[in-house]
Amino acid sequence: MSQVINDDKIPNNVHLADDKKLQRALEAWQPNYINWWKEMGPVGFQEDDVYLRTAISVESDGWANFDYVKMPDYRWGIFLADPVKDRTIACGDDYGKPVWQQVPGEHRNTLRRLIVTQGDTEPASVEQQRLLGQTCPSVYDLRNLFQVNVEEGRHLWAMVFLLHSHFGRDGREEAEALLERRSGDANKPRLLGAFNEPCTDWLSFFMFTFFTDRDGKYQLLALAESAFDPLSRTTRFMLTEEAHHMFVGETGVLRVVDRTSSQMKAHNVEDLDKVRALGLIDLPTMQKYLNLWFTLSLDLFGGEISSNAASYFASGIKGRAKEASHEDHIALNGTYGFDQFKDGKKVHEDVPLRNAMNEVLRDEYVEDCQRGVDKWNRTIAANGIQFQLKLPSRRFHRHVGIYSGMCFDTDGNPIDAATFAAKQDAWLPTDADKAYVKSLQQKPVYDPKQMANWIGAPKQGIKGRPVDFEYVRHEV
């Protein structure tokens, strides 16, 4: 099953050639996709050879090939993880029954909406990042950006395959619409908030790939538990690629904090102005970017108390991350406690566990984020600087769920709107902060031997190549 047919127009391991109608539909969508890529993908590098990995199999070792390719020629394909023999529904009311190979009529709209929502994030992030190549801190980073971009494109293919193969005409219409919405466009925005935010500097890019791609990881983990088996198999393979995106974010931020803190020590400076005078991104500004992208990403999990989440779980459409690691897969008896704020007063409320499934997923996400933050802090400490980055309270700066519409400080204490307004500039990037970060990223670094001043070099290159390898052959 995992054998890939690579000489087709569309590489795949789903025996596409056996289903002529589906093959024709996808081959008709393909040129529209390429047009979208050329119009909305990375600006200024479409003719360059880029050292990219391409999925060629779903085997855990040797699933990818690394070579130079021009991005519009990337072999975007359809890859599903191998089926799990006799797989049964992982959670909910039908726990233990056989999984679905076709979409049950009663779940058709829900599944389509979930697939479209996931699919919409993939091209959205490519659009958000399309100008970043022109200010890259190194050729190594430039290549990583493009790797993330082409794989988000492939994730769009993954969702479009499901839409075309299981949702008939409405699926095909949704697949077209996925190429028509545009990140940040007031008239035809992408579906989710964080995917309409500008991501036009590299600090935002690293925060995005750390925090927002990690939301993607948790959504994919939950969908990998789906009773709709093709969705489970698709998302399981997407997770393989997703790991690299979060690596780019984690090591990107790490290299910035390492560079800043080591230079602070070397020059014996602590004041923000003096740190900035060295052309570095000061740590308080890093904290503000962290606050912004963490909270935007928290919103992507949806409301804390959600009847939709309960019904996805009940029907087996969406599980928890690594459902098998939980004991009770029915979750009818448990409760989940929240601190709510009513008229400024804290009230504790227990809700049925099924209604809190978004929050259960968010808990695991926050824990995973904390692991990365701890690593960053160890690096700052190892450089002899007293400063700790911190995840803000999940009540802070929320626009979705029970804490939206209220103001909290970064520790989660309720405050009034005037206090929030007065403190906001200390918590979230100001226009001046953004302008400063951008001022460091005016000129791209296209010489493989060089690295921008504000970021440290990575520990190693890609796939055994040296850090200063010519990962992108770009004629200036």
Site string for Fe ion, 319-358 (x = CB under 5 A): ----------------------------------------
Determine the Cα–Cα distance for residues 44 and 151; give it in Å rounded to an integer: 18
- Please state the closest distance from residue 163 (CB atom) to Fe ion, in A: 16
Tell me, by CB under 5 A, how many residues bind Fe ion. 6
Nearer to Fe ion, 132 or 428 (CB): 132
Nearer to Fe ion, 210 or 312 (CB): 210
Rg (CA), the chain: 23
Q: Which stretch binds Fe ion (CB under 5 A): 61-69, 154-162, 165-173, 416-424?
A: 154-162
Candidate residues 130, 155, 214, 362; the one interacting with Fe ion per rule CB under 5 A: 155
Name the H helices within 62-130.
108-128
- Please state the closest distance from residue 246 (CB atom) to Fe ion, in A: 8
Helices (H) and strands (E) in the chain, counts: 13, 7
Identify residue 327 by its one-letter amino acid code.
E
Nearer to Fe ion, 152 or 323 (CB): 152
- Please state the closest distance from residue 228 (CB atom) to Fe ion, in A: 19
- Please state the closest distance from residue 97 (CB atom) to Fe ion, in A: 30
Find the binding residues for Fe ion in span 262-321 (CB under 5 A): none
With CA atoms as reference, report the closest residue to 89 among 259, 234, 251, 232. 232
DSSP codes of every residue in 295-359: HHHHHTT--SS-HHHHHHHHHTSS--TTGGGSS-SS-SS-EEEEEEEETTEEEEEEEEGGGGHHH
Candidate residues 245, 320, 329, 398; the one interacting with Fe ion per rule CB under 5 A: 245
Find the binding residues for Fe ion in span 12-71 (CB under 5 A): none
Q: Which stretch binds Fe ion (CB under 5 A): 106-114, 117-125, 324-332, 427-435?
A: 117-125
Q: Which stretch binds Fe ion (CB under 5 A): 49-57, 128-136, 245-253, 420-428?
A: 245-253
Q: Which stretch binds Fe ion (CB under 5 A): 139-147, 206-214, 364-372, 449-457?
A: 206-214
Candidate residues 120, 127, 213, 282; the one interacting with Fe ion per rule CB under 5 A: 213
- Please state the closest distance from residue 121 (CB atom) to Fe ion, in A: 7
Nearer to Fe ion, 225 or 241 (CB): 241
**Token digits for 108?**
């058709």
- Please state the closest distance from residue 190 (CB atom) to Fe ion, in A: 13
- Please state the closest distance from residue 155 (CB atom) to Fe ion, in A: 4
Which single residue is written with the structure tokens 């309270």?
Answer: 393
Is 244 an interacting residue with respect to Fe ion (CB under 5 A)?
no
With CA atoms as reference, report the closest residue to 444 among 86, 103, 41, 140. 140
CA distances from 227 to 90, 309, 312, 476 (A): 7, 15, 10, 51
Q: What is the DSSP letter of 210?
A: I
- The answer to whether 407 touches 414, Cβ cutoff 8 Å, is yes
Is 130 an interacting residue with respect to Fe ion (CB under 5 A)?
no
- Please state the closest distance from residue 34 (CB atom) to Fe ion, in A: 19
CA distances from 39 to 130, 135, 148 (A): 10, 19, 17
CA distances from 384 to 123, 252, 286, 378 (A): 41, 20, 18, 10
- Please state the closest distance from residue 441 (CB atom) to Fe ion, in A: 22
Q: What is the DSSP letter of 7?
A: S
Can you give the binding site for Fe ion, defined by CB under 5 A?
122, 152, 155, 213, 242, 245
